[in-house]
């Protein structure tokens, strides 16, 4: 069993630290952000993810997981810090700082693994160069590998175990050693390659999803013009054995998919296709604002009830959420907005209760496909509203029921 020093106790780092420690490794979890280590020591988990609090508390109770503000000497260093993107460039400052913080404790025979999403070439160049300022060299003195996370927010604990992994090594021995570590808790297949290929694969997966969603969004726009129901059309097309089109929606949010495609451009040069994909998905919140304004035409001082501000269904994460952009866009046009979201913590966004939200509203606008919305009774909602209108940008509730309750229903991508 290894002693792992894991840097960055965020969405990926914390569950990974818990998993490694639950599988017998000694883990020192490091986070430099004020308060995180102190809160975790008291069992307060800052990340909202099903079952994570219980698993982290268990890991702390076993004593295998300990917490620290600074890295300690270990066999393996695992960096899971954020790599945001500003003005079309990857911000590697957190990764650089985390890597530099390892230098005082790095010793011969150690393995360093990067999990953060990075532009291809970062591990073999930026990280390696920084680590070699210690006087040690890779792979002669220390080993180096890249192992991207692939988990879906909302299903992290399951996917961290079940998903296949791709591990890139600075040399085959580094990849094999990293594979051995992950094998202790990963049940999915583990494939090995070199660092830059693994970095490329990670970004390609998210860029592919972005492209597929942009295609669905483009189809939604065209279907509206052709008076076709895009949802039915996509479902029918997906019966073809080699077609798998994703779902249109109010835009692409989260901390990964809207960001990662830019890492490809950063590393490999411009791509008109990727720029277009980003532009199509980034234009969706404005399209939804236009759809709502059209619906509200002729109403003085209109009010809408927005359902769902998280970036996607059944999570409470607001990062890059297209719903937040829609809310701001509507407010900018003088529309009164009351938002209801059962998943988002109330200190992170101005939220109303369901009752307050629909009171005297002129439309309900569904922006996130939270499961709960399916079970809300349109009859009781309609009774509180000034006008019975539903705009569903996710196609996620039973429209027949809403129509029966007297609502005019508009669905993104369904031509009328």
The site for ligand SAJ (CB under 6 A) is made up of 117, 149-153, 205-206, 209, 213, 246-247, 249, 252-254, 256-257, 311-312
The residue from 48, 179, 202, 312 that is catalytic is 202
Residue 170: both structure tokens together: 């600075």
Active site residue 5: no
Of 142 and 200, the one with the shorter C-beta distance to ligand SAJ is 200
| Own/partner long-range contacts of 32-37 (Cβ < 8 Å, ≥24 apart) | 32/69, 32/70, 32/97, 32/101, 36/9, 37/9, 37/67, 37/68, 37/69
Q: How far is CA 63 from CA 28, 46, 195, 220, in A?
A: 10, 20, 33, 53
Residue 3: both structure tokens together: 């002693």
DSSP class of 374: G
Q: How far is the CB of 248 from ligand SAJ (least distance, A)?
A: 7
Task: Compute CA 256 distance to the chain's CA centroid, rounded to the nearest angstrom.
Answer: 5
Q: How far is the CB of 376 from ligand SAJ (least distance, A)?
A: 20
Q: How far is the CB of 401 from ligand SAJ (least distance, A)?
A: 23
Of 14 and 138, the one with the shorter C-beta distance to ligand SAJ is 14
The residue from 5, 80, 195, 256 that is catalytic is 256
CB-based contacts of 378, cutoff 8 Å, min separation 6: 390, 401, 402, 404, 405, 407
Of 284 and 304, the one with the shorter C-beta distance to ligand SAJ is 284
Active site residue 195: no
Q: How many CA atoms within 13 Å lie on the side-chain side of 312?
A: 13
Residue 4: both structure tokens together: 């792992």
Task: Compute CA 181 distance to the chain's CA centroid, rounded to the nearest angstrom.
Answer: 25
Kind plus residue range of the DSSP H or E element containing 77: strand 76-79
Q: How far is the CB of 350 from ligand SAJ (least distance, A)?
A: 20
Q: How far is the CB of 62 from ligand SAJ (least distance, A)?
A: 27
Residue 154: both structure tokens together: 């909302």
Of 138 and 211, the one with the shorter C-beta distance to ligand SAJ is 211
Please give the Cα distance from 148 to 166 (Å, whole number): 7
Q: How far is the CB of 246 from ligand SAJ (least distance, A)?
A: 3
Of 131 and 288, the one with the shorter C-beta distance to ligand SAJ is 288
Of 152 and 228, the one with the shorter C-beta distance to ligand SAJ is 152
Q: How far is the CB of 276 from ligand SAJ (least distance, A)?
A: 17
Please give the Cα distance from 226 to 92 (Å, whole number): 45
Q: How far is CA 225 from CA 218, 229, 392, 416, in A?
A: 11, 10, 18, 9
Please give the Cα distance from 179 to 225 (Å, whole number): 51
Q: How far is the CB of 151 from ligand SAJ (least distance, A)?
A: 5
Count of beta carbons in the 10 Å neighbourhood of residue 299? 14
Residue 34: both structure tokens together: 């004020």
Kind plus residue range of the DSSP H or E element containing 267: helix 260-268
Of 134 and 271, the one with the shorter C-beta distance to ligand SAJ is 271
Tokens 């879906």 found at: 152
Please give the Cα distance from 22 to 59 (Å, whole number): 6
Of 106 and 230, the one with the shorter C-beta distance to ligand SAJ is 230
Q: Which residues are catalytic?
A: 202, 256
């Amino acid at each position: 069993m290894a002693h792992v020093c894991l840097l960055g106790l965020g969405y990926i780092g914390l569950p990974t630290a818990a998993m490694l420690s639950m599988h017998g490794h000694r883990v020192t979890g490091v986070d430099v952000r004020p308060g995180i280590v102190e809160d975790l020591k008291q069992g307060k988990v800052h990340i909202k993810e099903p079952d994570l609090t219980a698993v982290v508390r268990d890991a702390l109770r076993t004593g295998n997981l300990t917490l620290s503000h600074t890295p300690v000497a270990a066999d393996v260093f695992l960096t899971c810090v954020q790599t945001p993107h500003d003005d079309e460039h990857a911000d590697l400052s957190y990764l650089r700082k985390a890597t530099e913080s390892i230098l005082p404790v790095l010793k011969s025979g150690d393995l360093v693994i990067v999990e953060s999403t990075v532009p291809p070439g970062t591990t073999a160049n930026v990280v390696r160069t920084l680590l070699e300022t210690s006087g040690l060299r890779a792979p002669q003195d220390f080993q180096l590998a890249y192992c991207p996370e692939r988990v879906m927010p909302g299903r992290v604990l399951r996917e961290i175990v079940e998903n296949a992994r791709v591990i890139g090594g600075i040399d085959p021995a580094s990849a094999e050693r990293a594979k051995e570590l992950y094998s202790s808790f990963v049940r999915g297949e583990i494939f090995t390659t070199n660092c830059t290929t693994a970095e490329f694969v990670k970004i390609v997966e998210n860029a592919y999803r972005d492209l597929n969603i942009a295609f669905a969004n483009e189809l939604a726009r065209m279907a509206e013009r052709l008076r076709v129901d895009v949802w039915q059309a996509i479902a029918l097309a997906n019966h073809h054995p080699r077609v798998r089109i994703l779902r249109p929606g109010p835009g692409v949010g989260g901390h990964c998919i809207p960001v990662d495609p830019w890492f490809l451009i950063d590393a490999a040069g411009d791509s008109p296709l990727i720029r277009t994909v980003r532009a199509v998905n980034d234009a969706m919140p404005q399209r939804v604002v236009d759809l709502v304004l059209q619906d509200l035409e002729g109403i003085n001082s209109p009010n809408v009830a927005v359902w769902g501000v998280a970036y996607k269904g059944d999570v409470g994460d607001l990062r890059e959420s297209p719903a937040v952009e829609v809310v701001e866009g509507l407010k900018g046009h003088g529309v009164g907005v009351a938002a209801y979201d059962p998943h988002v913590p109330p200190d992170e966004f101005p939220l109303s209760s369901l009752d307050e939200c629909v009171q005297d509203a002129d439309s309900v606008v569904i922006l996130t496909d939270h499961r709960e919305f399916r079970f809300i009774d349109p009859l009781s909602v309609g009774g509180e509203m000034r006008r019975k209108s539903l705009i569903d940008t996710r196609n996620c509730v039973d429209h027949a029921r809403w129509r029966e309750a007297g609502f005019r229903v508009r669905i993104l991508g369904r031509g009328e």
